[in-house]
Structure 1
């Protein structure tokens, strides 16, 4: 209750400030909540309900992204050859811009880095922050693969098992970013993580209810991983192998958090 009160003390003044200074030109997430009316109860949301939704919105975006970032960096420490290949791709992308070699990687640079995207996707395939997606309820009775499913049954989609399915992936337990460098069906296209063409993994869900922040998450993962590898060399602590054992928190995190020895690269 004390933590909840602290959250309200942070959010409610910001919500009230938005109400006072709303200009009508830019619609924010808070604006949509302020305009929302519950049809059955015929009322607006309370400040406390808006606080809960804002906290959920920000927490879901940051916690899952941070978790995915730690898993990705852990894999790059555990597999130094992959880290070196990624660094070389970044260096080549910067080679034609000598005056910018010491600057941080930008959004424009990221568009050129196909192996970076492959590393992120492979990390999400093996270590999605959530092993199963939010539950769904059936609106009518149906049959699926020979199983009779009653109306109102709760269905969970096991995102982790999909990413490790040997019927879908060759050597699913091996960390191989190269598998994402070329789409199996359409040469030259990037992997379709939203499931529009086919569903082989779904760390962000798929279809109409795909996570609205997946573009936001992918960009931040690519941005931070690229800059962390561009600026620093990451090595395991001597005598301390990177342990990829998982444990459940709000997301599936590392049971033994990453410990690494980093050194500044001579860029």
Structure 2
């Protein structure tokens, strides 16, 4: 029998005893300190009793039921940890913007401690000097507009790679095909180049892609079990820890040689008689900036190879899986809504030429003046945010959300998809209507940063907002525009678009998009 089932069986044996405690504790908090957010009953050791019949992977539908029953602020317990979830945009703004410093920290992860990994990551570091240093380095040295422009030739190269892959080697571009793997490969080509400063061949890119996705999916699906009784589960599930270590070693094997190559490149560039760079080598990369970092609170030491591999992995995950997921959802909506696709193509033609042989590729300058393209992308991110929840926050002090006490140390998360699909805030929220973001629409002038107000928050909001927001929007707009410019995307009879969702690292299409691509140009 699986050891997890043995653990559950043991808990079930203790239920009569736990019921006695439950009758005294309830699980909703109270007392002089204030009332905790409502939620299902909780018992010692296990936490919320719903974990007897639900897994952490099923948390989102469970939370929807709890929100419908209790309101927009609910709580769950995982062992002794209190998890609070917020589904109201006004409460989210009050918490993340008006009281931003109180929720700028991150909760510790049991799996990270068990794996012996450093928290020196932008997404995981506590709110302090190391986080500020790492984030400032990323924003100023790689994601600043002046740096982003340096990678314009890389985006043009990846556009050509993407179009060639979609046309397929056998020349049968009109044959139906699944496209998400092509999106993922193209985004890995781009982010690997931005990360390591080298345009790698297909085998090398695919090896990195496989290593990244294997680690990402394994850690997100198999490691949450360590949130329950880590002192016990680390023995019950030691095979999972061994597998996670093996996946990390594979990343080290792939990344460290690339980091070392960049070290040597920087040394040569600093010398008087440096060798000429290869055609595939770019003058700037994210790794270059990591090699220059010194940690002042740790003896002014440089980053270790382990830390740089983790930061490179974070960089790749942040820019590939989320972007390829967004591309798939948006193209699926354009397949399902041919009139919207036609209107977008008309805008593209008006900026790039008359169509047919006279129409050129869409440049980055072109997309700055395409309001309908921006509306299509915003509507895709509103209806289908790649992450249905942001990365979790940790309360640095006792605080209040929606009249409830959020005690210091509690983990707080925000229901991104629920806010973007709230029928009280959006007209026909489950319909794909890009016009809502144009003049007169209910999304006109929406601020995705949430600084003024939150209507939608696909990139998070507040002090831990996604540092790559601007680059992500550029990439999605650029590749959507070029894919619509190159092909008419048609639905496949008998293999229609299905908008059912599935949780992986991001929320993806349960049935991956298949489309028939008709070239618009010879």
Q: Report the TM-score when normalising by structure 2.
A: 0.47
Could you tell me which of 46, 70, 74 is aligned with 2:328? Answer: 70
Could you tell me which of 57, 62, 87 is aligned with 2:345? Answer: 87
Q: Is the 8 A contact 1:94 1:100 kept in 2?
A: no
Q: Distance in 2 between matches of 1:148 and 1:2?
A: 42
Matching residue of 2:263: 19
Q: Distance in 2 between matches of 1:4 and 1:152?
A: 29
User: Matches of residues 223-262 of structure 1 in structure 2 within 5 Å?
Assistant: 223-262=478-517
Could you tell me which of 111, 117, 124 is aligned with 2:368? Answer: 111
Q: Distance in 1 between matches of 2:505 and 2:402?
A: 32
* Matched position secondary structure for 2:409: coil
Using the TM superposition, name which of 34-43 and 55-64 deviates more: 34-43
Using the TM superposition, name which of 192-201 and 155-164 deviates more: 192-201
Matching residue of 1:179: 436
Matching residue of 1:155: 412
Number of paired residues? Answer: 263
User: Matches of residues 210-225 of structure 1 in structure 2 within 5 Å?
Assistant: 210-225=465-480
Stretches of structure 2 that go unaligned for 5 or more consecutive residues are 1-244, 271-282
Matching residue of 1:5: 249
Cα distance per residue 1:237-261 (max 9 Å; x no partner): 1122200101011111110000111
Cα distance per residue 1:179-205 (max 9 Å; x no partner): 111377997xx5321122221111011
Larger Rg belongs to? 2
Q: Is the 8 A contact 1:183 1:191 kept in 2?
A: no
Using the TM superposition, name which of 71-80 and 30-39 deviates more: 30-39
Q: Distance in 1 between matches of 2:246 and 2:405?
A: 46
* Matched position secondary structure for 2:454: coil
User: Cα RMSD over matched residues?
Assistant: 2.5
Matching residue of 1:199: 454
Q: Distance in 2 between matches of 1:219 and 1:110?
A: 9
Q: Is the 8 A contact 1:235 1:261 kept in 2?
A: yes
User: Matches of residues 24-43 of structure 1 in structure 2 within 5 Å?
Assistant: 28-34=285-291, 35-37=293-295, 39=297, 43=301
* Matched position secondary structure for 2:508: strand
Matching residue of 1:146: 403
Q: Is the 8 A contact 1:105 1:226 kept in 2?
A: yes
Note closer, same or farther for the CA distance 1:98–1:169 as it changes in structure 2 (3 Å cut): closer
Matching residue of 1:208: 463
Q: Report the TM-score when normalising by structure 1.
A: 0.89
Pairwise CA distance, 1:45: 3.1
Greater helix percent: which structure? 2
Q: Is the 8 A contact 2:344 2:373 kept in 1?
A: yes
Note closer, same or farther for the CA distance 1:17–1:157 as it changes in structure 2 (3 Å cut): same
